[in-house]
């Protein structure tokens, strides 16, 4: 479904990604771990299409299409979703209104009829229940005055409504206490399906206790140095990242 080949990317002329290869099949959950500054967030942003990230080599194919040639909104229509590490506030813009605009833009693009207000509210209520989001959040301004945990929960709620085929969770666990983490992870688990793939970017293996990955990758110095199963994360937790670097240097 997603195939990244030899991806190189720079920010302000500085090389961050130095040849990423990554293949994700439908329904798989991949965890990408790594130290600060290793390029994890850059990878997320490049996939979602944020400005300011220059791809200097390589390709990303998504459902067989050239993702890099698409605008961010086109990627969203194609089924890419990014759960932000730091969701922004948009004062005065109703949370539900933003989502309705997004959902209907996608439906128009796909040649489907737009949902009317009633149908949409029904969908939204159902999804809010799924991720245990208080209905009161629906009518508030986008992330306006939300706590850190509420913002992250809102991201997962948006994911539930937009129903992407690829969700990238960019450090969704950061800043969450254990209860909030449990709720957010519970929401993500309910959204797992054979058609939906997930990339989890995280510092800590803690999140993986709640959302079990199929594959774990170690990203350091702009490259995937090592991939493995769930046990790799546990080993990283115990031994840190340096041994992976050393191993890679001697390989």
Number of residues located near other proteins, criterion CB under 8 A: 35
Of the candidates 105, 99, 4, the one whose C-alpha atom is nearest the C-alpha of residue 47 is: 4
Alpha carbon of 156 to those of 19, 153, 177: distances in Å?
A: 30, 5, 16
- Candidates 19-27, 90-98, 119-127, 200-208; binding stretch for other proteins (CB under 8 A): 90-98
Helix (H) or strand (E) holding 103: helix 95-109
- Candidates 12-20, 50-58, 205-213, 243-251; binding stretch for other proteins (CB under 8 A): 50-58
Q: Is 49 in the site for other proteins (CB under 8 A)?
A: yes
* Cα(53)–Cα(214) distance, integer angstroms: 28
Binding-site member from 61, 77, 180, 192 for other proteins (CB under 8 A): 77
Residue 75: φ, ψ to 5°: -65, -40
Binding-site member from 38, 85, 154, 158 for other proteins (CB under 8 A): 158
Measured in whole angstroms, how far is the alpha carbon of residue 41 from the centre of its chain?
10
Q: Is 98 in the site for other proteins (CB under 8 A)?
A: yes
Of the candidates 234, 215, 173, the one whose C-alpha atom is nearest the C-alpha of residue 29 is: 215
Among residues 167 and 225, whose Cβ is nearest to other proteins? 167
Least separation in angstroms between CB 108 and other proteins? 10
* Interface positions with other proteins (CB under 8 A): 48-52, 71-73, 75-77, 80-82, 84, 87-88, 90-94, 97-99, 101-103, 105-106, 109, 141-142, 158, 162
């Amino acid at each position: 479904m997603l195939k990244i080949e030899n991806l190189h990317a720079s920010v302000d002329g500085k090389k961050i990604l130095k040849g990423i290869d990554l293949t994700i099949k439908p329904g798989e959950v991949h965890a990408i771990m790594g130290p600060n500054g290793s390029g994890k967030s850059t990878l997320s942003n490049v996939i979602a299409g944020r400005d300011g990230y220059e791809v200097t080599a390589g390709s990303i194919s998504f459902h067989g299409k050239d993702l890099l040639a698409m605008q961010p909104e086109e990627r969203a229509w194609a089924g890419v979703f990014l759960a932000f590490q730091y969701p922004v506030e948009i004062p005065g813009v109703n949370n539900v209104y933003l989502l309705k605009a997004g959902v209907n833009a996608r439906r128009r693009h796909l040649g489907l009829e737009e949902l009317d207000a009633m149908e949409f509210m029904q969908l939204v209520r159902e999804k809010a229940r799924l991720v245990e989001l208080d209905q009161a959040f629906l009518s508030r301004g986008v992330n306006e005055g939300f706590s850190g945990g509420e913002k992250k929960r809102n991201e997962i709620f948006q994911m539930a409504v937009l129903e992407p085929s690829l969700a990238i969770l960019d450090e969704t666990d950061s800043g969450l206490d254990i209860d909030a983490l449990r709720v957010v992870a519970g929401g993500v688990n309910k959204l797992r399906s054979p058609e939906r793939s997930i990339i989890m970017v995280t510092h800590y293996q803690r999140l993986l206790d709640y959302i079990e990955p199929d594959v774990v990758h170690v990203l350091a110095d702009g490259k995937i140095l090592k991939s493995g199963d769930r046990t790799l994360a546990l080993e990283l937790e115990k031994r840190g990242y340096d041994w992976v670097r050393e191993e890679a240097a001697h390989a």
